[in-house]
C-alpha cells in the first residue's frame, strides 16, 4: 500500500513539474513577444518623427528657395495668413 501511494505521489509530482515547465515556457514566450512588439512600436514612432522632420526640412528649403533666399521663410513668417489673403500666391 505504501509503494502504491509513493508511485501515485511521484506521478502527480511529475505532472505538476511538467505543467509548471510548460507555463514557464509560455510566460517566457509572451515576454519575448511583448518586447519585440514594443521595439517595433518604438521603431515605427521614430520613423514617423524622422519622416515629419524630413518633410518640414524639405518644405522649409522649398519655401526659402521660392522666396529667393531673402527674408524669412514661410515657416518663420508670422504674417503668413494675412499675406495670403491679400496675395493668393504667397507660397510661389
pLDDT digits (tens, 9 = 90+) for 39-73: 999 999 999 999 998 888 888 877 766 666 555 55
Q: How far is CA 34 from the centre of its chain?
A: 13
Give the span between the Cα atoms of 39 and 19, in whole angstroms.
30
Total count of domains within the chain: 1
Arithmetic mean of pLDDT, 8-13: 92
Best CA proximity match to 20, nearest among 8, 9, 28, 32: 28
Q: Note whether residue 91 is domain-resident.
A: no
Give the span between the Cα atoms of 63 and 55, in whole angstroms.
12
Q: Note whether residue 27 is domain-resident.
A: yes
Helices (H) and strands (E) in the chain, counts: 2, 0
Place of cell 515629419: 52
- Three-state SS for 11? helix
* Whole-model pTM over 0.85: no
- Three-state SS for 71? coil
pLDDT(19) > 90: yes
Residue 69 structural domain = 2-86
Q: Note whether residue 92 is domain-resident.
A: no
Amino acid at each position: 500500500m505504501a509503494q502504491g501511494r509513493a508511485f501515485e505521489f511521484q506521478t502527480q509530482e511529475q505532472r505538476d513539474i511538467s505543467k509548471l515547465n510548460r507555463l514557464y515556457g509560455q510566460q517566457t514566450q509572451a515576454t519575448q513577444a511583448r518586447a519585440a512588439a514594443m521595439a517595433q512600436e518604438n521603431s515605427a514612432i521614430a520613423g514617423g518623427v524622422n519622416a515629419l522632420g524630413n518633410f518640414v526640412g524639405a518644405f522649409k528649403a522649398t519655401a526659402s528657395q521660392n522666396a529667393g533666399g531673402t527674408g524669412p521663410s514661410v515657416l518663420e513668417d508670422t504674417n503668413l495668413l494675412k499675406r495670403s489673403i491679400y496675395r493668393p500666391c504667397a507660397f510661389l
